[in-house]
Structure 1
Amino acid sequence: MPSLDFTLPHWAYWVGLIVFPIFAMALANRPKPEEKRYSLGLGYFILITGGILGLHRFYLKSLLGLLYIPVFLCILYANSQGHDARSVVSDLANAVRIAERTLERETERVGTAEADLPALREELETAKVQEEEGSFVIRRAERNVERAEARVEEGRVLIVEAQGNLETARPQVESARAEMAKWNNVAKYAFWLILAGMALDALLLPMLVKRANDRLPAHEEMSETERALAELEARERKDDADHVSEGWTGWIDRLSLFCGEFVAYWAVIAVFVYYFEVISRYVFGSPTNWAHEAMYLMFGMQYLVAGAYAMLTESHVRVDIFYAPMSRRNKAWVDLLTSVFFFIFAGTLLVTSWIFAFDAISVPSGNSLVSDWARGRIGFGEMASGWNMAQWTDPNIRWGEISFNEWEVPLWPMKWVMVIGGLLLVLQGISKFAQDLRKLFAGDDPPSAPPDRPASEAAMREAA
């Protein structure tokens, strides 16, 4: 299988986090067509992202998409067998290297010992003639002869063992390499087969979309379940809008709603990134070094920015056994009193994240302008006037704190997102505080009206 060595550029990561939600929000809020039609653009999008599984065929309700599944499973199986064969090749090749080194080392040692034996034996005979029996000179000469003879004997045993290992391992290595090459070829040819099918479908896709649209009934009526889902979605959107207050606090509420919806689409990015990671790892045998870090950084930022939205829509966890039965004024009193603890938390988060953000850009780096300004060594005017194109084009210039793994993504933007999240939370707290004051001066609770529950909810429950 060909390898897939791709590392996401840092600028593409941050640009994608900004551009994709805007694009997704525009698609989600566009007017829905009255008549359901298959989209050629969506078909090509699915072909690019999921064509290896035939998802574009399933989108058009074509059973020929099932042909992609066994080929894809063949790739996974062949890669698994090829991985096992690669491990066997590595182990056997290591055994061959050890045997070759042993043979080379022991052959030299045995040769040296055999060459030294005659001189050592002659020295021993001379010592026996010239020295008294049991003297130190005789014992040393005998020990030298014994060591040389033992070295020769042990070396010959190791040489025989190494030669036997070589005779056994070398054919096994060749067999394992052939097995690995076989499974690599199976995976490679199956992958090219899928690519050929995708290329053919890319040419046929306009005709396939037209044929699928022609098969649609002229006026397709919604089922009870689809109607219930549509009404439920409309109610949920209405509920979000109902949280927006009147007056100047409404601007804060709308900002929190916008930011919450904006970062919600980051979860869609995670689907694509992890899909790419799975395909890279199990199809191309090229696991990424950036996918996991990119996503947990993204989810951390999503958690921070969505805090204000959760507070506005009351989506957070709250134990309201005593709070729920209270009147409107009493709830406002409780919220005002407990807001002290909220502002302590939100204010601490904002101040601490501000310190973290400046610490992140003050880390000494290739971009000394930013780090020196953050550390107070130069003024803002000197920092602003020192910019040139090298600040953007020189790969050796880094901006502040970076991650410690191979991807080395800058971390200071995430630290500034912490500041944004803390600021949004403080603003939403101010909005909630102002609304609680309004409730205190508004008088008694308005008469409660029964909730507007669509009649199709019963059908929704039955369908569930």
Structure 2
Amino acid sequence: MPGLDFTLPHWLYWIGLIVFPIVAMSLGRRPKPTERLYSVPLAYMIWITGGIIGLHRLYLRNLWGLLFIPVFLFILIANSQQQDARSLQSDATNQLRMAERVITREEERVTGAEADLPGLRAELETTEEGSFARRSVERRIERAEQGIESGRQKLEQAREEAELARPLVDAATRDRTWWAAAAKYAFYLIVALLVIDAFLLPMLVRRANERLPRGTEVDEFERTAAAAAAATGEARRDDRDLAENWIDRLSLFCGEFVSYWAVIAVFVYYYEVISRYVFNSPTNWAHEAMYLMFGMQYLIAGSYAMLTESHVRVDVFYAPLPRKKKAWVDLFTSVFFFIFAGTLLFTCWTFAMDAIAVPSGNAVVSDWARGQVGFGEALANWNLGQWTDPNIRWGEISFNEWEVPLWPMKWVMVMGAALLVLQGVSKFAKDIRAIARGE
């Protein structure tokens, strides 16, 4: 199988977290078509992301998409067998290498001992019976004979192990080569099918649309929502109806913005799975990139969850209260909220300043964060080289192989804590207004 050797650039990671939600939000706010039809752009997107298992044809309800699945499963099986063969080959090769080393070492030792033995025996003849010198030579002869015997035993054992290991190495090498070739040609088959479908997709989409019944088709989710609204007598309330001031609108925007990061995670983990199990090339950045992203998402979405009352809570006594009494309860508990939110903001600020204060080369911002230069001097010495010079890597970076800068994430934590404090202020003002109006 061909390998994948792609490492996500740091700049592309951060730009993707900003650009993708903006594009997704603009597409999500387009007016919905009056008639539901299959989409050529969506078909191509599925072709790119899931075409390797035929999802683009299954999206169009074309049963030829089932042809991709067994080929893809064969690739997974072939890669698994290839990995097993590689493990066996590695073990057998190590066994053979160790046996060959023993043979080389012991042959030299046995040969040297056998060459020295006649001289020792001649020396023994020249010594006086019962003398210290004679006893010393006898011990040397005894050790030489024992070494020769032990060396011959080790040689015999090592030669047996080498004879057993050689066919294992050959068999494992043949199996690994065969499964690697099988996986490669199966992958080439899928690539050929994908190339063909790349040209056929517009026609396939047109035929799929021709098979659809005319008229607007309401999906199951909309039918369920409409039935629930009819049963309760209440229409589903839009989140935008909750926005009463600029803070609420900011929380709604940030919540919607980071919600699209979950879509990025789908694409990234899909790439990681395909890279790992199809191309045998696991990434060194996918997992770290996503858990950093989800940490930022968790904090940024806090204000949105507070606005929409999506936080988990036990409200057995709170839920039945009228609006005015709820406002009094919220005012009382807001003391604890602001203690928590203020502590969170102060802690995140400390983390963020510590992150950029890590000394890295000639970074002006790091010198400023450590108090070595003033803000005016740092601003005067700031230039484009602070961003582009590879010798300047200011701020904290991760300890993993990807070495992504961590200071942007720490500052996003500050933004999330600040949004939460602002949303608390908005909630506090609403409660005061509710009590004053007697609602």
TM-score strictly above 0.5: yes
Give the C-alpha shift of residue 136 in structure 1. 2.9
SS of 1:238's equivalent in the other structure is coil
Residue type of the alignment partner of 1:242: D
Q: How many residue pairs end up in the alignment?
A: 436
CA distance in structure 1 between the partners assigned to 2:23 and 2:294 by the alignment? 19
Aligned to 1:142: 138
Please state if 1:214 is matched with 2:213.
no
CA distance in structure 1 between the partners assigned to 2:428 and 2:2 by the alignment? 60
Q: 1:190 to 1:401 in 2, by over 3 A?
A: same
Aligned to 1:23: 23
Aligned to 2:58: 58
CA distance in structure 1 between the partners assigned to 2:13 and 2:189 by the alignment? 32
RMSD, aligned CA? 1.9
Q: Structure 1 vs Structure 2: percent identity of aligned residues? A: 68
Aligned to 1:372: 367
Contact 1:401 1:410 in 2 (8 A): yes
Contact 1:367 1:400 in 2 (8 A): no
CA distance in structure 2 between the partners assigned to 1:367 and 1:401 by the alignment? 14
Superposed, which structure 2 residues align to 1:7-406 within 5 Å? Answer: 7-127=7-127, 130=128, 132-133=129-130, 135-222=131-218, 226-229=222-225, 238-245=237-244, 250-406=245-401
Residue type of the alignment partner of 1:156: R
CA distance in structure 2 between the partners assigned to 1:25 and 1:431 by the alignment? 25
CA distance in structure 1 between the partners assigned to 2:220 and 2:137 by the alignment? 104
Aligned to 1:448: none
Give the C-alpha shift of residue 289 in structure 1. 1.0
CA distance in structure 2 between the partners assigned to 1:222 and 1:287 by the alignment? 41
SS of 1:165's equivalent in the other structure is helix
Give the C-alpha shift of residue 37 in structure 1. 1.6
Contact 1:86 1:180 in 2 (8 A): yes
Q: 1:411 pairs with 406, 411, 429, which one?
A: 406
CA distance in structure 2 between the partners assigned to 1:200 and 1:224 by the alignment? 33
Q: 1:334 to 1:306 in 2, by over 3 A?
A: same
CA distance in structure 2 between the partners assigned to 1:223 and 1:281 by the alignment? 36
Give the C-alpha shift of residue 166 in structure 1. 2.1
Give the C-alpha shift of residue 213 in structure 1. 1.7
Give the C-alpha shift of residue 367 in structure 1. 4.4
Aligned to 1:437: 432
**TM-score normalised by length of structure 1:** 0.90
CA distance in structure 1 between the partners assigned to 2:342 and 2:217 by the alignment? 53
CA distance in structure 2 between the partners assigned to 1:223 and 1:421 by the alignment? 36
Give the C-alpha shift of residue 329 in structure 1. 1.9
Contact 1:95 1:169 in 2 (8 A): yes
Q: 1:18 to 1:231 in 2, by over 3 A?
A: farther
Which runs of no fewer than 5 residues in structure 1 stay unpaired? 446-464
Q: 1:221 to 1:359 in 2, by over 3 A?
A: closer
CA distance in structure 2 between the partners assigned to 1:205 and 1:221 by the alignment? 23
Residue type of the alignment partner of 2:372: R
Give the C-alpha shift of residue 167 in structure 1. 2.3
CA distance in structure 1 between the partners assigned to 2:14 and 2:227 by the alignment? 36
Contact 2:36 2:217 in 1 (8 A): no
Q: 1:221 to 1:111 in 2, by over 3 A?
A: closer
**TM-score normalised by length of structure 2:** 0.95
Give the C-alpha shift of residue 381 in structure 1. 2.7
Residue type of the alignment partner of 1:53: I
Give the C-alpha shift of residue 224 in structure 1. 7.0
Give the C-alpha shift of residue 183 in structure 1. 0.3
CA distance in structure 1 between the partners assigned to 2:43 and 2:392 by the alignment? 41
Aligned to 1:455: none
Q: 1:81 to 1:60 in 2, by over 3 A?
A: same
SS of 2:199's equivalent in the other structure is helix
CA distance in structure 1 between the partners assigned to 2:199 and 2:52 by the alignment? 16
Residue type of the alignment partner of 1:304: L
Contact 1:328 1:439 in 2 (8 A): yes
Contact 2:363 2:386 in 1 (8 A): no
Give the C-alpha shift of residue 226 in structure 1. 4.1
Contact 1:40 1:209 in 2 (8 A): yes
Give the C-alpha shift of residue 232 in structure 1. 6.9
Residue type of the alignment partner of 1:243: L
Could you list the per-position Cα deviations for residues 382-436 of structure 1 after superposition, in whole angstroms to 9, with x for gaps in the alignment? 2223234433333332121000010000000010011001100110000011111
